[in-house]
């Protein structure tokens, strides 16, 4: 096992670990944009720069594996200046529209600029403009905000198997887009919204709806996934506003399907407006609310009849759909006996 010195700590770690992962063991969390645990390493944002005593320039911690005798520092003046310079560079073309950005309050660029950024800008030119792309039916794009971390590209090629998303142009003209006419439509496209560290890719259904500090989180499971991966439901009052994946010891991937992510929409939209009852050959049309009242009366009456016939008293009777999964069944039964 390689022996490493970091910020006056000495540690032995697996040779397969990157410096970023090794430093995490001693509770040093480095700032990052492009690195993601479940995607390949790109090493292109340069935000995780640290100082290696044997190197003239700072090195990137996410793409360099630990090796014997390495001695690194993460909080020196050189490192702080490097981080400030990287942020200044990223902010050159990033629009300052945080007050109207859906990522506001949960944006990595906003947070890291607050901690590591400079107190003034030196860019007096005009910012560039990038035309928005069509990423999918649930993804809203603001490509002016993109910082080219390439997380969305790696997710598309490594998880979705879509190779047509990539980097177009170089330098000032660099932008993210499709090489051929294409979009992300394989039922997992919503994950790029969580992956994007800035507000370049946001969720269309959640657009201009709420701010993260207004939300309450409830832990639940993705009922549309056979493995029941954990998710977190964000609520404001009693309204569900979004569903997001969470990383836990139980799941290998922090990604969920669009079905699990947007199914709550059916609670508020796409509801039945009119109900048709068939009495013999006659059809009776009724509004949904009236039909629910009628069904409640019919249901209660039939239950009373059932109890009378069987001469039994049931404290609880459940009427459940065929697609109910076990976790929901258990939670219904548990909550009714509390
Ligand atoms: S759109 Fe977002 S995820 Fe994709 S490269 Fe730009 S900043 Fe990264
Ligand atoms: S996180 Fe290391 S270069 Fe981006």
Reported as a single tens digit per residue, the pLDDT across 152-171 is: 999 999 999 999 999 999 98
The atom number, within ligand 2, closest to the CA of 62 reads 2
| Complete domains list, the chain, with CATH | 3-91 (3.10.20.740), 126-268 (3.30.70.20), 274-336 (no CATH)
Complete DSSP assignment for 229-289? -EEEEEEETTEEEEEEE---TT-S-----HHHHHTTHHHHSS---EEEEEETTEEEEEEHH
What is the model's pLDDT at position 270?
A: 64
Residues lower than pLDDT 50 in the chain? none
Give the atom of ligand 1 at the shortest distance from the alpha carbon of 147. Answer: 7
Q: In this predicted structure, what is the pLDDT of residue 225?
A: 83
Q: What is the pLDDT of residue 229?
A: 86
Beta bridge partners of residue 244, listed in sequence order: 232
Counting ligands in written order, the one closest to the CA of 192 is: 1
Closest by Cα among 80, 79, 16 to 53: 79
Q: Which atom of ligand 2 is nearest to the CA of 31?
A: 1
Place of tokens 């660099």: 174
pTM of the complete model? 0.80
* pLDDT at residue 265 in the model: 83
Residue 257 Cα to ligand 1 midpoint, Å, equals 20
Residue nearest to atom 4 of ligand 1 (CA): 152
């Amino acid at each position: 096992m390689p022996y490493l010195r970091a910020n006056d700590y000495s540690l032995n770690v697996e040779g397969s670990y990157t410096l970023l992962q090794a430093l995490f063991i001693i509770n040093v969390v480095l700032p990052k944009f492009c690195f993601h645990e479940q995607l390949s390493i790109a090493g292109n944002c340069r935000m995780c720069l640290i100082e290696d005593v044997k190197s003239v320039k700072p090195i990137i911690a996410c793409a360099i594996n630990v090796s014997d005798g390495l001695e690194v520092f993460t909080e020196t003046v050189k490192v702080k200046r490097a981080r400030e310079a990287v942020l200044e560079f990223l902010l050159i073309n990033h629009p300052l529209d945080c007050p109207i950005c859906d990522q506001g309050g949960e944006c990595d660029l906003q947070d890291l600029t607050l901690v590591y950024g400079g107190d003034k800008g030196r860019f007096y030119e005009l910012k560039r403009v990038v035309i928005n792309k069509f990423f999918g039916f649930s993804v809203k794009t603001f490509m002016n905000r993109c910082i080219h971390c390439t997380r969305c590209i790696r997710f598309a090629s490594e998880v979705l198997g879509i190779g047509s998303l990539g980097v177009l142009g170089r330098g000032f003209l660099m932008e993210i887009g499709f090489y051929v006419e294409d979009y992300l439509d394989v039922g997992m496209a919503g994950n790029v919204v969580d992956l994007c560290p800035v507000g370049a890719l946001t969720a269309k259904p959640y657009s201009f709806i709420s701010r993260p500090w207004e939300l309450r989180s409830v832990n639940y499971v993705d009922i549309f996934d056979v493995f029941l991966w954990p998710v977190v439901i964000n609520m404001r009052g009693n309204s569900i506003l979004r569903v997001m994946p969470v990383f836990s010891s139980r799941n290998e991937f922090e990604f969920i399907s669009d079905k699990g992510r947007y199914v709550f929409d059916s609670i508020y939209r796409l509801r039945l407006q009119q109900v048709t009852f068939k009495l013999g050959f006659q059809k009776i049309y009724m509004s949904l609310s009236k039909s629910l009242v009628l069904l409640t009366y019919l249901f209660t009456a039939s239950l009373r009849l059932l109890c009378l016939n069987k001469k039994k008293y049931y404290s609880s009777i459940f009427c459940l759909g065929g697609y109910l999964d076990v976790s929901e069944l258990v939670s219904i039964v548990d909550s009714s006996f509390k």
